[in-house]
Chains A and B, each alone.
Chain A
Amino acid sequence: MGGTGAAPRPGEAEVGRIFREESGRSVAALIRVFGDIDVAEDAVQEAFAIAASKWPGDGLPPNPGGWITTTARNRAIDRLRRESRGRELLSEVAVLSPGTSDPRIPEEAGPVEDDRLRLIFTCCHPALSTDAQVALTLRLLGGLSTGEVARSFLVTEQTMAVRLVRAKRKIKAARIPYRVPGDHELPGRLRPVLAVVYLIYTAGLASPAEPGLCPEAIRLARILAALMPDEPEVAGLLALLLLTESRRASRTRPDGSLVLLAEQDRRRWDRALIEEGQAIVRRCLHRNQPGAYQIQAAINAVHADAATAAQTDWPQIAALYDQLLTVAPTPVVALNRAIAIGEVQGPAAALTLADELDLDNYHLFHATRADLLHRLGRHSEATAAYQRAAGMAPTPAERDFLRLGGRASR
């Protein structure tokens, strides 16, 4: 820490933090300017490499993100001028960004507010597979390295590299547009965007080895909420993630085993996140345009209100699940509704509802049945259901939890 210069001198961690914060914005701005994802990615990487060697000695520039974008833009132009294909691309740039004085040099490379929004709609275009959508979003908007993205989704770095190259190639060859969809197509196009952010969050929850994914998903949700303030489901997603995040620290023990909601130490829940999430839920209720994310957020808000598990307002939660089932009529929602009804009317009612569902391949279906059977005193059936659930559990923590009959050792 040098204290003499006017500018603070960042360490490696600080440069890394700025990269996480700013690279998505810079990549998005450069894609708009150059119309080419690879050019933008390479140039931003290069600019950060320069920053990493310069900033610790010289201190931070007044606007690090702007510095990165400008440096990346200049590097890209230099490189493109050296290559003949690049010169072609630069002349195309004139077409892509009308209004620049010298068509060969894109002058205006500062971020436009909705560049990142354009980019996330490109990354999550329905013509791309969900795997590709998630990978592109983490790589381009989150600034994660290919290796980090690969580790988050338990595939090899090479598999992930191939997936990213293929997806970027399709965007270019098929001309997947780089723009925010118009109002009439927005509902359909927003759905995969929200699903990708939610998926990134749940991937973080499932793999405590990659804790960065949860904050990354929340960061993306915040960007979306800031850029699309009139979309109630965007607000709903942000609220849902904030309220879930408020409990993340208390949902696992130090050894990685899971703690049931009813058994969590509620004093460890993050009050600031809860208040922020609940405030958003209240605004959503006021707006009265309910959707699946908003209702799930509201359910979590009710849980967050209960000082103890016994004080949970289950009738309210059951009513919210009724509403959720009408907007998202899936068997998994029906199962959760059955659990809520079980808390109001007793385990027999819940078991009757659960047994009507076609969820034989879902581990939490068997785990739920096991718990209900246990509470009804049907212990041998409960044990069998726990065994089935454990055999299907997707993560070791869940498997161990279920093997122990849903009651982890303390």
Chain B
Amino acid sequence: MTQYLLSVHSVDGQAGEPMTGEQMRQSYQQVMALQAEMKSAGAWVFGGRLHEPGTATVVRMSGGEMLTTDGPFAESREHLGGFYIVAAEDLDAALGWASKTSAIIGAPIEVRPFQDEPGA
């Protein structure tokens, strides 16, 4: 099994119409159902939604000193909105989970393999 990062990239200003309460409830239920499906298929490793990039902090070592900066690593209109990590037999299986997720959240998903196999 290989682990894949399924990441959702949001673009500022492309959020579209805000969802109604009912739409949010429906979307939440669909996401929960998909996560349950991932778990029962043994594909689920981890996943979650992130707060907006303004809540990020970057730390870096500089001249032996730890520097902390407020805000995301890269100032950009595109940022990571959330992700899943799934374990899958091959790329086709990972793409299958990605298309299900994309269909629910209505956003493109990048699928990228992790280097190490679990336990290797």
Chain A contacts to B: CB under 8 angstroms: 125, 127, 173-177, 181, 185
Q: Is the interface of A mostly helix, strand, loop or mixed?
A: loop
The reply to whether B95 and A175 contact each other, CB–CB distance below 8 Å, is no
Q: Please give, as numbers and ranges, the residues of chain A lying within 8 Å of B92 by CB-CB distance.
A: 176-177, 181, 185
A389–B108 Cα distance when bound, in Å, is 38
Chain B contacts to A: CB under 8 angstroms: 2, 4, 88-92, 94-95, 111-113, 115
Q: Please give, as numbers and ranges, the residues of chain A lying within 8 Å of B90 by CB-CB distance.
A: 175-177
A225–B95 Cα distance when bound, in Å, is 28
Closest 9 CB pairs of A and B: A177-B90, A175-B90, A174-B113, A174-B91, A176-B91, A175-B2, A173-B113, A175-B91, A177-B92
Q: Please give, as numbers and ranges, the residues of chain B lying within 8 Å of A176 by CB-CB distance.
A: 90-92
The reply to whether B95 and A127 contact each other, CB–CB distance below 8 Å, is yes
A32–B94 Cα distance when bound, in Å, is 21
User: 27 A-B pairs, CB-CB below 8 angstroms?
Assistant: A125-B91, A127-B91, A127-B95, A173-B113, A173-B115, A174-B2, A174-B4, A174-B91, A174-B94, A174-B111, A174-B112, A174-B113, A175-B2, A175-B88, A175-B89, A175-B90, A175-B91, A175-B113, A176-B90, A176-B91, A176-B92, A177-B89, A177-B90, A177-B91, A177-B92, A181-B92, A185-B92
A197–B80 Cα distance when bound, in Å, is 38
A125–B94 Cα distance when bound, in Å, is 14
CB nearest neighbor in B for A177 = B90
A125–B111 Cα distance when bound, in Å, is 15
Other than A174-B2, A175-B88, A177-B89, give 8 A-B pairs with Cβ distance below 8 A.
A127-B95, A173-B115, A174-B94, A175-B89, A175-B90, A176-B90, A177-B91, A185-B92
Q: Please give, as numbers and ranges, the residues of chain B lying within 8 Å of A127 by CB-CB distance.
A: 91, 95
Q: Please give, as numbers and ranges, the residues of chain B lying within 8 Å of A174 by CB-CB distance.
A: 2, 4, 91, 94, 111-113
CB nearest neighbor in A for B1 = A175
Q: Please give, as numbers and ranges, the residues of chain B lying within 8 Å of A177 by CB-CB distance.
A: 89-92
Q: Please give, as numbers and ranges, the residues of chain A lying within 8 Å of B113 by CB-CB distance.
A: 173-175
CB nearest neighbor in B for A172 = B113
CB nearest neighbor in B for A175 = B90
A181–B112 Cα distance when bound, in Å, is 21
Output the least CB separation between A32 and chain B (Å): 15
Output the least CB separation between A351 and chain B (Å): 42
Q: Please give, as numbers and ranges, the residues of chain B lying within 8 Å of A173 by CB-CB distance.
A: 113, 115
A174–B88 Cα distance when bound, in Å, is 10
A148–B2 Cα distance when bound, in Å, is 35
CB nearest neighbor in B for A182 = B92
Output the least CB separation between B70 and chain A (Å): 35
Output the least CB separation between B65 and chain A (Å): 36
A174–B92 Cα distance when bound, in Å, is 9
CB nearest neighbor in A for B88 = A175
Output the least CB separation between B93 and chain A (Å): 8
CB nearest neighbor in A for B96 = A185
Q: Please give, as numbers and ranges, the residues of chain B lying within 8 Å of A181 by CB-CB distance.
A: 92
CB nearest neighbor in A for B114 = A173
A173–B90 Cα distance when bound, in Å, is 10
Q: Please give, as numbers and ranges, the residues of chain A lying within 8 Å of B89 by CB-CB distance.
A: 175, 177
Output the least CB separation between A359 and chain B (Å): 29
Output the least CB separation between B41 and chain A (Å): 17
CB nearest neighbor in B for A125 = B91
Output the least CB separation between B114 and chain A (Å): 9
A185–B88 Cα distance when bound, in Å, is 18
A357–B95 Cα distance when bound, in Å, is 36
A185–B4 Cα distance when bound, in Å, is 21
CB nearest neighbor in A for B95 = A127
